[in-house]
Amino acid sequence: MAIRVLHVATGNVGRIVLSQLIEDPRFELVGLVVSSPEKVGRDAGELAGLDAVTGVTATGDLDAALALRPDCTAYCAIGETRLSGALGDVRRILASGSDVVASSPVPLIHPWGLLPDRMIGPVEEACREGGTSLFVTGVDPGWVNDLLPFAIASTCQRVEHVRCSEIADYASYDGGPVLFGFMGFGRPVGDTAPMFRPGMLAASWGVSLRMLARGFGLELDEITEWFELEPAPEAFDVAAGHIPAGGVAAMRFQIRGVVAGREVLVIDHTNRLRGDLRPDWPQPAQEGGSYRVEITGEPSYRVDVCPTSARGDHNHSAIASGAGRIVNAIPDVVAAPPGLRTPLDLPFNTARGVFAAALADARQMTR
């Protein structure tokens, strides 16, 4: 029997999640919640960019949608700029009796040691009240910082150092609130963006470092952060808007987990809006962007991951990978006991339903 799923938000991640929920026979889309008034009343197939009429129309009323009693809710509303609002939404959904898979709020990927108990407690109480479980994931923070390094390190006899890198050109990414509002692209170099305020990098990616440490059986002594910004040599435009001369056009930042004075776990980002900026910084393994996991140990590894997509460029394919991770986790999250769940709590996901769905489509096309 198909799992009945409510979907929330149709932004960059949500649109891709919605399309899989519509097309994947493992799931039945029962409702859709949007925040933009102009989207209310439109069919889910249209909002997903599909040539399909689902009969499910968008509403702006979360409580009315929850009255449909979904088994699980896919929550993809933005959380970087509205943490308290996103936390409140997730608590309401969990308490209503619906499990949740989500792309935000990011701190709930692994909140222990980051969020205070007064923020974690209400989420755990909502899980107990609704008998529900919650799983938040993404790309980076997400599977690049947990699933991938754990899988590779499981072949090592000894591990001394792990580095997870994103190296990407964001010029085609149209997420203005994140690029301009949170990350600070386009701002004067001296105008500190929210992401670079003291402690914010450690908070945003510390969830992944703490999960890595927990999985490896380490106790981190501290988490440190570092960043460098590069101004635009002249004005130019990108998908999200205008970059003035002197505005931030490239950035590199690191979040480092330290044990006994040694950096043992590192998350390293190199993000540009033009490929020619700072050629001395790390370069991607494919044009536009890639991910990299480097493990020093026995044996040592350097693994480059180069996602591609028939529906878009490297930025689209990266977002699609996070969306797929969210949707494919639904069966395991529904089956999990109540509470906040991480990749360390859920079974290893073999995408067992994805292949079956693709083969079913292939058989249908040959008839």
Quick: pLDDT tens for 256-267: 999 999 999 999
Q: Write out pLDDT tens, residues 66-115.
A: 999 999 999 999 887 788 999 999 999 999 999 999 999 999 999 999 99
| Pair (162, 264) in one structural domain | yes
Domain membership flag for residue 319 = no
Domain of residue 261: give its range.
147-311
Q: Write out pLDDT tens, residues 215-228.
A: 999 999 999 999 99
pLDDT confidence tier of residue 231, bands split at 50, 70 and 90: very high
pLDDT at 315: 94
Strand ranges for the chain from DSSP E: 3-8, 27-33, 58-59, 72-75, 99-102, 133-136, 158-169, 222-231, 236-238, 241-243, 248-259, 262-272, 289-298, 301-305, 339-341
Domain membership flag for residue 142 = no
Written as one letter, the residue type at 312 is: G
Residue-wise DSSP of 225-269: EEEEEEE-SS-EEETTEEE-TTBEEEEEEEEEEEETTEEEEEEEE
Q: What is the CATH number of the domain that holds 85?
A: 3.40.50.720
Show the tokens assigned to 212: 């890595």
| End-of-domain residue from the set 284, 311, 338 | 311
| Pair (208, 341) in one structural domain | no
Domain count, the chain: 2
Domain membership flag for residue 11 = yes
Q: Write out pLDDT tens, residues 309-322.
A: 999 999 999 999 99
Tell me the whole-structure pTM to 2 decimals: 0.93
| Pair (68, 126) in one structural domain | yes
